[in-house]
Every structure is written in C-alpha cells, then in structure tokens.
Amino acid sequence: MKTTALSTYAKAFAKLKRGGTKYGAAPHKPILLLSIIELIEKNIVTDNRVFVDAQLVGTFKENWLLLVNTAHQEDFTQPFYYLQNERVAGQGYWFLQSMPGCQINAHIKSVSVLASVCAYGYLAADLWLLLNDAVSRAYLKQVLLATYFAATQNNLLSAKQQGQGYLNDQTSDLLEEPQAKYKHISKHTEEDVFVRNGLFKRLVPRLYQQQCSFTGMTLSSLYRHSFVDACHIIPFSHSQNDSVTNGIALCPNMHRAFDRGLLSIDENYRILVSEHLTEDKNHPYALASLKGKQIILPQQQNHYPAQQALAWHRSEVFKG
C-alpha cells in the first residue's frame, strides 16, 4: 500500500502545475514542498500542522536562494495558497485551516496577514505518513530536486551540510555575531521582517534560559505556548533594531509594566521602579519588591541588553 502511494505521489510531485513566465516555469511549489519536507525531517513540524511562522518562511527563502538561479520573484504566499489546486487521483493533498471567524478564499499576498488568518496548513493523511518515513521522505525530496533543480541541487546539499544559508545569516545578525558566507540578506522586505521578528521572539527567551529576567519565572506548555516574552527595549517601530541586545525576556505582566514605563533597568542592570506606581506594597507580587534587584542576564556578555538601549528607555519611557 505504501509503495503504491509513494509511486503515486512521486509522479504527482514530478508534474506540478507551474505558471509559465518569461523566465520559465515558476519554481514556487517545489520550493514549498521541499521546505515542508525539511521541517518534518528536522522534527520542527511534528504533527500534521504546518504553521506560517519564521521557520517555514525562512526555510522557504533559504531554499529559494540556494536553488533558484532565474529572475523569478520569490514569494512564499503564492504556493502556500495555490498548492491546494494540486491533485492525486482527483483529490487534493494540501489544505488550509483558517482561524476562527476567518476565510481564505483567495491568494493573500502579505505573509503577515496570511499568518493572522491561517491557523495552519496540513497534508493529506497518506502523504503525511509517507513524509514521516525516512526512506519515503528522502525519495520524494530527491524527486523534487532532480525534476526541478538538477543544476543547483548541489548548492543546497552543500549548504545544509555545513549549516550555512539565509536562516544562519539572519540568526547570526540578530546575535550580532560574524556573518556566514551567504550574503543574501535584505532587511527591507516584509518576509525578512517577519522572519527576523519570529527569530527574535525565539532567540531572546532562549538566551535567558526561558526565564523572566526580572522575576526568574519560567512557564511553558506542551501546546507551543511560552509565557516568557521577547521584549524590545527600544520598540522596533522606532529603532528597526531587532538584534538580541535590544531585547530582554519578560513574563507578560513585567513586559507590560516595562513598556508602560513603570519599570526600567539602570546602568548596573538593576531594576528601577517608578515612584508614580500605585499598588499594595504588601502584596507578594508587588512591583516595589523588585526595586534594586539584579536582573537575570544571558550567559554571554555580548548578549547583555545594550547600555544605549537601556539609557533610551530610562530617558524616553520610564516614569521615574
């Protein structure tokens, strides 16, 4: 049964409907399929729900840069919608689940809007089972590479083996570390901002060992939820700075108090509490009890909150 299904999907993957352009047939659908396969292979996608997040969008862009040598316009949202039109034995094998109260009846060109209205994409059950089998997955991956990217597949295989590419460059940039070899970074596209924001949200709590920097609280669940936020010190809308040194890990109530200027951090990384705060100081969770407390810092000093950013927050936000 599995052999028959594998053969059927291999034929379907080798005959994807791709729009014709002056640069040749569009490479978007095979890139998306390769990206989904990669996330399954890396155990990032562990159930049959493919989220519009930094990992998927970033992996799509990384694979695009490594495989596509034509002048086609890179666009993640296009195949994410139009892959629904592909058929195996008359049945679709890619589906979109919208958020409650939302509908996805047309191609949504903004990745941020798409992420807000699409809960996740998912695969037909038989294809999902095939892609969770290492041998079948490798075979379907090779079908896609050999059919559509024979001339460039070695670029991808070499880069993946060495841990190089777009996502590595973006992560290195956010961590303010030396850049990798690939220099395809443009910080001005919507997709780049989306990917970098997603990486920022994941990297900052990790640097603080998933703890709130002010309280030491750590809380997560098995349902992809973390209750420790990555907080910008200088808002991204003001600074366009998404490096981790412009970030700090805070639980939601500390995050809100920090953003509203009720809390800040001095030059010695100690907590400042606003004199304009009204609260029950005897309450066990009173903010006043944090005054003068040393914040929890990342293990590496080069990841500490930037003094320039903290000075800006004390000057422009904190209500001393």
Query: How high is the pLDDT of residue 19?
Result: 81
- SS3 track for 8-35: HHHHHHCCCCCCEECCEECCHHHHHHHH
Query: How high is the pLDDT of residue 24?
Result: 83
Residues of the chain with pLDDT under 70: 1-2, 177-188, 220-226, 279-284
SS3 178: coil
Query: How high is the pLDDT of residue 280?
Result: 62
Query: How high is the pLDDT of residue 223?
Result: 55
Going 312 to 316 to 317 to 320, the CA torsion angle's sign is positive
Q: Which stretches within the chain are classed as H helix? A: 2-13, 28-41, 54-67, 77-82, 111-117, 125-131, 134-148, 153-162, 166-174, 190-207, 236-239, 252-259, 307-316
Cα distances from 297 to residues 31, 67, 77, 107, 233, in angstroms, run 39, 40, 38, 43, 14
Query: What is the distance between the alpha carbons of residues 244 and 300, in angstroms, rounded to a whole number?
Result: 12
Query: How high is the pLDDT of residue 175?
Result: 86
Q: Which residue in the block uniquely carries the two structure tokens 């500490």? A: 304
Query: How high is the pLDDT of residue 54?
Result: 94
**Residue 59 is encoded by which pair of tokens?**
């992996």
**Residue 192 is encoded by which pair of tokens?**
């780049």
pLDDT, tens only, 114-159:
999 999 999 999 999 999 999 999 999 999 999 999 999 998 999 8
Query: What is the distance between the alpha carbons of residues 38 and 62, in angstroms, rounded to a whole number?
Result: 11
